[in-house]
Amino acid sequence: MAHRMDRRQFLRVAAGATATALLPHSWARAQARPVRIGFAISETGPLAVGARLTQTPNYYLWRDEVNARGGLLVRGEGRRPVEFVNYDDRSDVGTSVRLYERLIREDRVDLVLPPYSTGIIFAVAPVVSRLGYVLLGVTVGSLRIRELGAENFFALLPQPDSVTISIVQFLREVRERYGWNRVALLHIADLHGVEHRTAILPLLQRERFEIVEDRSYPITVTDLSDVVRALQARRPEILVAFNYPADGPLLVQQCIALRFNPRIMILGVGAFFPEFRQQFGENTNGIVCHQAAWTPKLRIPGAREYYEAFRKKFGRDPDYAGSSLVYQSLKMLEQAVAEVGLDQRRIKDYLERHEFNGPWGPVKFERGINRAGNYVGRPNRLGQWQPSGYEVIWPPEYATARPIIPKPDWK
Amino acid sequence: MDVRLFLEIGAGGILLGGLYALIAVGLNLQYGLMRVLNVAHGEFVMLGAYVTYTLYTSLGVNPLLGLVLQVPLFFLLGWAIYGVVYRGVLEQGGGPVQLEANSLLLSFGLLFILENLALVVWGPSLRGYQYLHHSVSILGTLFPTNRLVALGVALLLTVLLLGFLHRTALGTALRALMQDPEGAEAVGLPLVRLHGLSFGLGCALAGLTGSLVSMLFTLTPSIGMPYTITALVVIILGGLGNVAGSLLGGLLLGVLEALGAYVVGADMRTALIYALLVAVLLFRPYGLFQTRAPSPGQTAGG
Amino acid sequence: MARGRVQLAWLLGLGGLGALFSLPLWASTYVVGLLQALFAYVALASAWALFSGLSGYFSLGSAAFFGVGTYATFLLAPVVGWIPSILLGAGMGGLVALGVGGISLRLKGPYFAILTFGLSELVRYLVLGYEMRFSRTVGRVLILPVDVGGVYLAVLAVAVAAVGLSMWLYGSRYGRLLAAIGADEGRLESLGFRTTGLKVTMFAVSGVLSAAVGGALAPRWTYIDPHIAFSPLISFQTVLMALLGGATRWWGPPLGALTLGLVSEFLSIRFRYLYLILLGLLLIVLVRFWPRGLVEVEDRARRWRGRRLPLGEERRAELQPGWSAESDP
């Protein structure tokens, strides 16, 4: 871990652990008041799909692990069991805001965990922040976070600027070796797509890439065959798409059917799901994904352990991007609470001052946004499906495999 | 503009249009006979897709065989839902306004139940498989095989259904009912049985479309609603209660949607569909293919 | 005796209003937040019923007006302040409704419902197209220094206006005229009644109030995009609540909104993701046994006490043939 335990901390942890070990188990449990952690997340409605794939499983994994260790270590109080107070926000912004007020004002929880999706987090963050609570948001991607003025809010995923920088760096390297220069851009017409497209356009132009097509489609799209035909007609060598889980497969299906096979194909959200591999099998080989790539093969402390624990508990793989970061955000809270207790202001200071690592990777906040990427000169990670599974291919210091270039023909 | 590309995109639109037509025909049968707008129609499509998916991926049942197996299953499901849920409410009477209100409430209830049942049974993951996903070349243009199959099935079924409606005694009774519900009852047609039959048929068509959808698209429990909306647009294009109109309307929507998206930009695709819907309602409220209301019960004008 | 009772009702009503308006002073944040959400739907359902409840024109377009109000506040509040922006937004909602009403009220039945739905979706995608092409973004952020109590008061004011208006309307000449439109508009016109003016006016009033709800709620969102502000779920839920309550009485839609809101809250906290399944079952059972909505509670109570309808009520019921089983011609 980037944050090393000093001697004093070690003694404290050890003392807490010994005290717990010496007491009869049930007695210790009965004595320790539980730490109550609250969240409201989409269990029904359109956002339930994403929330239940990427986010909530990690909450339960972490809680069970902590409780199996005898509870959450709170500075000055020893271990206290973790208890969740949670609600369903029904994928509705208004309901979510209301429930967070309830969690903080009525249920008086000790800590809150974030809801799912940019729209809901945007509404909840200022409210939670005003009530003095720290919120570590993972599934939020927009540079407009700063407009919220939510000073107790932290965003973890690489934001559009660092994602697009890594794509363009990778493409520049590819061009040096292969000479491919013709780029087609495709994005979904919502905040996520528009911000990424707005960020990548000047970068590509500055590097003098030729942009042969630049299209968008609505979030409710049900078919992309006409889009693929139009793209195909422009003969791009490189395709970069800023898509969502539901439309990525539409795109790939039509590319296969119409035998549209750009040399480099870079996709976004959803291409990192194990389900994507299940659906398309070996046809996924060579597809690059630009969203915060992660695999258990990364030489990052805790990556392999996290993967094994997740598989053991849920019988499936976590997604190869944000899932491990959700888990890491909980570990960060755990670490902060062990160091400074449950006071929100001190947790906030702690999160701002320290650098964290594992199982997802380095996290260091700068004005509330994780800048470990650009901050220390490391861009967002790109991943690629290969016969050996999902591999990180960029930047080189993280790479778990050499990239497969060009993308193989469709089977 | 590239003429060949334009034609290719239009032809690609027809392939999906067949699917739209099939969904719309089912909804239109239910509406035409019972004057019931079933907003849960798309949920039956979703359910059909999941059943085919499950049969194929866990038991290895060929999706096309699954499709055939599903027809009686969904017919019975629809028939049972009519008997348990709708029949009592339709027989309560209470005038057209109350009937419209209550059938809307009922189908919203069904929608909530089916969508969340699917969420419980199949979970939130994206599901999909590859079947006949390669293309065949027609006149030098590639068309995905599974979409060609979907179009073929859709055309075949709609033609069969039209034949049934026009050439058999039962079909004629159904059509009489669509034209004039009160009159049909007066001449002694067994209303309840015909209603059950039409609701079952509508569900069978939805389930069957679902089988085709599972071959083409990725599934989540929330895919139903967009299909309901597409079906609504199509039956307005083709005329409420007009089965042949739905077939043409579906094909037309497929083509217009694909070409419009190509010309105006794909991001305006949905806007385009709604603009078309609004324009048709305002200027040709009885559908593109007829100028008069088919029966007094269906008047659009006040 | 009768006068005494009327005075008592007024007194109770005023007392109740006083209690509601002073709620942020003494109730917990959660209760205020919950009631704010419930009253927003009370306002939407009552506003919907002002036009659609009696006339039988089922509008599925509440989201369009709501969204216009929300966007008006997001755009104008930083310039003119929050309350003025609600009023301006309400005005715009009214104008949009005049436009929509002018072209769509020629259609009846499912045609009208689908048309209003289509128009509302069209507005959503046109706003989206505009934002993407000209604003170079999709969402808008608004931070207003208004807490939940402030939002609650604004929403409550709109709800009181909507419910008050429908209370008046349902007892007035215009209400009877609307009910007659619902029953048989053709006959009404052949008798020489002009209905267009009344229909368009009520549709516009309904648009004004729905837009005001959007503006009043805006500080709660912080972030909006066209999919949030114009969500068709807003229209569906409004109609669902109004019909569940029963639109034959002025108090049906508010009752439906309160009931469905509270039941959803209870079920979702108690049963998690099973809650929508239970809600669906509940809807089906309710429609089966109380086909006229929750307002049947009144008839049942009367029957139970063996009393006749008071005179005014009886007449009103008579004048709404579209809604009662006996009088379908």
Query: pLDDT tens-digit profile of A339-373?
Result: 999 999 999 999 999 999 889 988 988 888 887 65
**pLDDT over 90 percentage in chain B:** 43
Q: Which chain C residues are Cβ-neighbours of A219 within 8 angstroms?
A: 227
Residues A49-70: tens digit of each pLDDT: 788 888 999 999 999 999 999 9
Pairs of CB atoms within 8 A across A/C:
95
Closest chain C residue to A131, measured at CA: C147
Give start and end residues of each alpha helix (H) in A32-189: 48-50, 56-68, 93-101, 118-130, 160-178
Pairs of CB atoms within 8 A across B/C:
156
Among A200, A161, A160, smallest CA distance to A183 is for A200
The least confident of A261-265, B2-6, B276-280, C322-326 is: C322-326
A360 and A325 Cβ atoms separated by less than 8 Å: yes
Among A293, A298, A334, A299, smallest CA distance to A61 is for A334
Chains contacting B (3+ CB pairs below 8 angstroms): A, C
Q: Which helix (H) or strand (E) holds C100?
A: helix C82-104
Instruction: Flag whether residue A275 sits within 8 Å of chain B, measured between CB atoms.
Output: yes
B293 is written with which tokens?
């209301």
Chains contacting A (3+ CB pairs below 8 angstroms): B, C
Task: Determine the pLDDT at residue A113.
Answer: 97
DSSP B219: B
Interface of B with A (CB under 8 A): 2, 5, 8-9, 12-13, 15-16, 116, 119, 123-130, 133-135, 142-147, 216-218, 220-222, 226, 230, 258-259, 261-262, 265-270
The shortest CB-CB distance from A49 to any of B124, B226, B261 is to B124
Structure-token match 């590097």, residue found: A207
Give how far A53 is from chain B: nearest CA, Å: 7
Using CA atoms, how far apart are residues B159 and B51, in angstroms rounded to an integer? 25
Using CA atoms, how far apart are residues A139 and C73, in angstroms rounded to an integer? 27
Using CA atoms, how far apart are residues C147 and A393, in angstroms rounded to an integer? 48
Among B179, B216, B234, smallest CA distance to B27 is for B234
The shortest CB-CB distance from C107 to any of B106, B275, B300 is to B300
Between A309 and C109, residue with greater pLDDT: A309
Q: Which chain C residues are Cβ-neighbours of B275 within 8 angstroms?
A: 122
Phi-psi region of B178 (alpha: psi -120 to 50; beta: other; left: phi over 0): alpha
- Whether A23 has a pLDDT exceeding 60, the answer reads no
Residues B100-155: tens digit of each pLDDT: 888 889 999 999 999 999 988 998 788 888 888 888 888 888 888 989 999 999 99
Among A98, A111, B220, A93, smallest CA distance to C269 is for A98
Task: Determine the pLDDT at residue A90.
Answer: 84
The shortest CB-CB distance from A256 to any of B133, B147, B261 is to B133
Task: Determine the pLDDT at residue C315.
Answer: 42
A129 and A153 Cβ atoms separated by less than 8 Å: yes
Q: What is the helix, strand, coil percentage profile of chain A, to 5? A: 45, 20, 35
Give the mutation candidate from B130, B131, B132, B213 for the A interface (greatest A CB count, under 10 A). Answer: B130
Task: Determine the pLDDT at residue A7.
Answer: 47
Task: Determine the pLDDT at residue A129.
Answer: 93
Structure-token match 């009931």, residue found: C259
Closest chain C residue to A49, measured at CA: C273
Residue B240 identity (one-letter amino acid):
L
Q: Which chain A residues are Cβ-neighbours of B119 within 8 angstroms?
A: 44, 48
C192 is written with which tokens?
């020489």
**B238-242 average pLDDT score:** 85
Task: Determine the pLDDT at residue A377.
Answer: 46
Task: Determine the pLDDT at residue A2.
Answer: 41
Task: Determine the pLDDT at residue A12.
Answer: 52
Q: Which chain A residues are Cβ-neighbours of B125 within 8 angstroms?
A: 49, 53, 273, 275
Give start and end residues of each alpha helix (H) in A215-360: 225-233, 248-257, 274-280, 303-314, 323-340, 344-353
The shortest CB-CB distance from A102 to any of C30, C225, C273 is to C30
Q: Which chain A residues are Cβ-neighbours of B222 within 8 angstroms?
A: 46, 49
Task: Determine the pLDDT at residue B30.
Answer: 87
Within 30-59 of C, beta carbons closer than 8 Å to B belong to: 56, 58
Q: Which chain B residues are Cβ-neighbours of A256 within 8 angstroms?
A: 130, 133-134
Q: Which chain B residues are Cβ-neighbours of C238 within 8 angstroms?
A: none
Using CA atoms, how far apart are residues A240 and A263, in angstroms rounded to an integer? 11
Residues B81-112: tens digit of each pLDDT: 999 988 888 887 777 778 888 888 999 999 99
The shortest CB-CB distance from B258 to any of A44, A189, A226 is to A226
Task: Determine the pLDDT at residue C164.
Answer: 95
Task: Determine the pLDDT at residue A1.
Answer: 38
The shortest CB-CB distance from B116 to any of C107, C276, C293 is to C276
Q: What is the mean pLDDT of chain B?
A: 86
Does the distance separating the beta carbons of C103 and B299 come in below 8 Å? no
Q: Which chain B residues are Cβ-neighbours of C286 within 8 angstroms?
A: 105
**Which value does ipTM take for this structure?**
0.88
Using CA atoms, how far apart are residues A268 and A283, in angstroms rounded to an integer? 17
The least confident of A101-115, A303-317, B69-83, C125-139 is: C125-139
pTM of the predicted structure, to 2 decimals: 0.88
- Whether B262 has a pLDDT exceeding 50, the answer reads yes
Using CA atoms, how far apart are residues A94 and A326, in angstroms rounded to an integer? 24
Give how far B157 is from chain A: nearest CA, Å: 23
Does the distance separating the beta carbons of B12 and A225 come in below 8 Å? yes
Closest chain A residue to C276, measured at CA: A44
Within 86-105 of C, beta carbons closer than 8 Å to A belong to: none
Residues B8-32: tens digit of each pLDDT: 888 888 988 999 999 999 999 888 8
Give the mutation candidate from A103, A105, A120, A146 for the C interface (greatest C CB count, under 10 A). Answer: A105
- Whether B208 has a pLDDT exceeding 60, the answer reads yes
B185 is written with which tokens?
């009852």
Q: What stretches in chain C show pLDDT beneath 50?
A: 309-329
Quote the crossing angle between the two packed helices C29-48 and A93-101, to the nearest 10°: 160
Q: Which chain B residues are Cβ-neighbours of A260 within 8 angstroms?
A: none
The shortest CB-CB distance from C107 to any of B88, B98, B281 is to B281
The shortest CB-CB distance from C148 to any of A88, A101, A149 is to A101
A269 and A248 Cβ atoms separated by less than 8 Å: yes
Does the distance separating the beta carbons of B9 and A216 come in below 8 Å? no
Task: Determine the pLDDT at residue C4.
Answer: 78
- Whether B165 has a pLDDT exceeding 50, the answer reads yes
Give how far A6 is from chain B: nearest CA, Å: 43
Does the distance separating the beta carbons of C108 and B301 come in below 8 Å? yes
Q: Which chain A residues are Cβ-neighbours of C275 within 8 angstroms?
A: 44, 88
Q: Which chain C residues are Cβ-neighbours of A127 within 8 angstroms?
A: 222
Instruction: Flag whether residue A235 sits within 8 Å of chain B, measured between CB atoms.
Output: no
Does the distance separating the beta carbons of B85 and C284 come in below 8 Å? yes
Reported as a pLDDT band with limits 50, 70 and 90, residue A15 is: low
Reported as a pLDDT band with limits 50, 70 and 90, residue A256 is: very high
Instruction: Flag whether residue C30 sits within 8 Å of chain A, measured between CB atoms.
Output: yes
Task: Determine the pLDDT at residue C316.
Answer: 44
**A247-257 average pLDDT score:** 91
Does the distance separating the beta carbons of B106 and C323 come in below 8 Å? no
Using CA atoms, how far apart are residues A298 and A377, in angstroms rounded to an integer? 18
B108 is written with which tokens?
């919203």
Instruction: Flag whether residue A276 sits within 8 Å of chain B, measured between CB atoms.
Output: yes
Task: Determine the pLDDT at residue A209.
Answer: 97
Among A128, A59, A129, A135, smallest CA distance to A99 is for A128
Q: Are strands A35-41 and A82-88 parallel, antiparallel or unpaired?
A: parallel
Whether the link from the prior residue into A359 is cis, omega within 30° of 0, is yes
**A143-147 average pLDDT score:** 80
Helix (H, G, I), strand (E, B) or coil at A264: strand
Q: What is the helix, strand, coil percentage profile of chain C, to 5? A: 80, 0, 20
Which residues neighbour A332 within 8 Å (Cβ) at sequence distance 6 or greater?
A136, A351, A356, A363
CB atoms closer than 10 angstroms to residue A33 = 11
Q: Which chain A residues are Cβ-neighbours of B17 within 8 angstroms?
A: none
Residues A378-397: tens digit of each pLDDT: 678 999 999 999 999 988 88
The shortest CB-CB distance from C222 to any of A88, A148, A194 is to A148
* Ranges A399-408, B223-232, C99-108, most confident: A399-408
Reported as a pLDDT band with limits 50, 70 and 90, residue B292 is: low
**A86-103 average pLDDT score:** 90
Q: Which chain C residues are Cβ-neighbours of A101 within 8 angstroms?
A: 29-30, 33, 148
